[in-house]
Structure 1
């Protein structure tokens, strides 16, 4: 299969070819020797027979520039000929770090499995909340938007790994659609944090400022939950596109972090910080309400069980969502023994966030569990109830036909 070269790499290769042309006849070696040649990627100078020329790997494709590539020169002054290819050929496989490549494949697999599991759990959660219409309220609507945000984000990550990360041709060609996918992906990634902020604001409003209309509050949540990520990426995308003049400066498919990634970090840090502030104040208010409750001789009322469950879920999820950013300063350097552990932990915490959201806000939700149990009992015990009813009616008919005068009293 022929490898397609991006226009940027083609320009680099053209420059190397021009340098190779300048090297022709620039050195004087005694016969025999291998004459300088351009192999399509690199320029090889005149090399004495029986020696091996080497140079750093070219900075194109996915090569590791810290590695060396070798080109043997035969004793008769000819570059090594490979019968299998029927031509002289430079083995560039040494430019690929096989161990690091396999390591990255394993990490990508962890991401894909985690996002897949989370996506299934989120879809099940959305199905449950949609099916049980008796659960519909502003709080459940916020939950459903949070689930939708995570579900779409997980689906986009699966697309990203399968269509971009695992397809080097797409990355090298730096297609427009992969950059658009990058922007959409981070839009929904930021929406995860903005909707977690909405969860915190909703709890804070209900428990602290109980006089706000739920309809007004929900409208504000919708504007905030989807408005923050859209505003952020509308600023990020134009800024990232003007990051540099060459593809190396901009980044192919924008996979590598750029200097404008700070734009994406700002709303995440702000939302996580605000959620922490809200949760601290919610806990303070709940403690005051519990102390003034009827059990303590006061007139105040404690928080409902549902509110406490939502509070526990939010308190667990906020540090989980911010864990990736807390770990970033402690990221080990390349080839560090702890790099594998760090990457595995980071992959698991990032990809399984959706599963944790589904468990805490749906599968462990007392209202959802009660509805599922009620539906299960209805389905499982309906045949017995019908059978008992039919038997009772049959007995009544038999008694009435046998004792027409006092059948009702007999029954």
Structure 2
């Protein structure tokens, strides 16, 4: 029992806790190195009156302050949610002591001014849009995967690529939901910057990259099927898997390694902006541009070289797939095109941009499911056939029940 109690008291390792180390350093700077940023603004005072002593309140260092004045300093930047452009303040009372909060009888610093409540509420709404949008996309994607796997007659190279694309999107969206719920919404988690949240960031970005590279595989497959034609599906599928899952892993490893060794880029669960993100943005952007070129060429072939043939249905399926992909590629690329066009913070269009970006990003999976599954001719045909067979089977069971009931009645009449 005693050992159990000791183990519980040693769970929290203060010496290795980054927040504890940061605050300890600030306290040392306050009393040993005399580092403080507080100042008295606009108040008149008599130097012969009492002075409040230098104090470290747990977040900031407050210099000696004349009685009956108020000291100000920028809000601490290391606290998630605080705006360093705003100011916290601490009152020195008439008798030269710091103001005491009557509710808890402790010295009190006013940090409430550090939080922009309106902006905080808006960002909460944006995060909710992301979570709801990703949840809708996951539901649509999982349903699509079930449909593809259930109707075995649909399985071909194109549908297998769809399944990989849908799986990468579904996993990516689930991870983003986890990210928003366990990291973004948890200030303490971001502040502590534990290894698990950094790993979650890396894994989430890996599956985000796979989604775009499998979209590239969609375009590449259409290009190969209609232009190159002589490549075997089995060989092509192996290369697609290497490209979709393997190349994404290499890009992610390079990104994680470079960012890990970049000073200041691994704080706050890697949430802060870092130029290392271009390691992801550039290859993804290139894949989108090349995909668009492939698809334009596919459309050109469909319009100029394919004529009515006995395999008209296959030609029509290829046309619809190309049209769906042509819609999706600009849709996916629009998110990257909008990055340089992002309005400045607090500008009139900034909030509209945030809402549009949240909707566009979180509902990509739903768009994929609609265009590649729910409106797919083969899927619709297979579903109608299944429903027709299901209805006929139910009718047969019902008729059997009626006939059996009549036979039983006839038998009873005969016995009587």
1:144 & 1:209 partners in 2: Cα distance?
A: 23
1:366 & 1:340 partners in 2: Cα distance?
A: 39
2:56 & 2:402 partners in 1: Cα distance?
A: 95
CA displacement 1:216-254 (0-9 Å, x = unmatched):
11111111111221110111111111001xxx4433211
Equivalent residue number for residue 135 of structure 1: 154
1:301 & 1:376 partners in 2: Cα distance?
A: 25
CA contact (8 A) 1:190 1:267 kept: no
CA displacement 1:253-303 (0-9 Å, x = unmatched):
11122121111112101110110110111111111124xx259xxx99896
Equivalent residue number for residue 311 of structure 1: 322
CA contact (8 A) 1:6 1:172 kept: no
1:149 & 1:318 partners in 2: Cα distance?
A: 16
1:101 & 1:70 partners in 2: Cα distance?
A: 21
Equivalent residue number for residue 58 of structure 1: 76
Equivalent residue number for residue 351 of structure 2: 340
Structure 1 gap ranges (5+)? 396-411
CA contact (8 A) 1:286 1:302 kept: no
Per-residue deviation at 1:125? 0.4
Per-residue deviation at 1:392? 9.1
Equivalent residue number for residue 350 of structure 1: 361
Pick aligned residue for 2:100 from 81, 86, 92: 81
CA contact (8 A) 1:42 1:58 kept: yes
Per-residue deviation at 1:180? 1.0
1:391 & 1:162 partners in 2: Cα distance?
A: 55
Larger radius of gyration: 1
Structure 2 gap ranges (5+)? 1-16, 38-45, 407-416
CA contact (8 A) 2:201 2:269 kept: yes
Give me the TM-score of the superposition, normalised by structure 2: 0.86
Equivalent residue number for residue 11 of structure 1: 25
CA contact (8 A) 2:144 2:374 kept: yes
CA contact (8 A) 2:27 2:61 kept: no
Q: How does 1:176-255 map to 2 (within 5 A)?
A: 176-244=195-263, 248-255=264-271
1:394 & 1:348 partners in 2: Cα distance?
A: 57
Pick aligned residue for 1:372 from 383, 387, 390: 383
The 1:198–1:174 alpha-carbon spacing in structure 2 relative to 1, beyond 3 Å, is same
SS in 1 for 2:120: helix
Equivalent residue number for residue 48 of structure 1: 66
Equivalences, count = 383
Could you say what the CA RMSD is over the residues aligned between the two structures, in angstroms? 2.7
SS in 2 for 1:328: coil
Give me the TM-score of the superposition, normalised by structure 1: 0.87
Q: How does 1:287-302 map to 2 (within 5 A)?
A: 287-290=303-306, 293=307
2:78 & 2:19 partners in 1: Cα distance?
A: 9
The 1:322–1:141 alpha-carbon spacing in structure 2 relative to 1, beyond 3 Å, is same
Per-residue deviation at 1:32? 2.5
Pick aligned residue for 2:168 from 124, 149, 160: 149
CA contact (8 A) 1:251 1:258 kept: no
Per-residue deviation at 1:127? 0.7
Equivalent residue number for residue 286 of structure 1: 302
1:374 & 1:9 partners in 2: Cα distance?
A: 67
SS in 1 for 2:112: helix
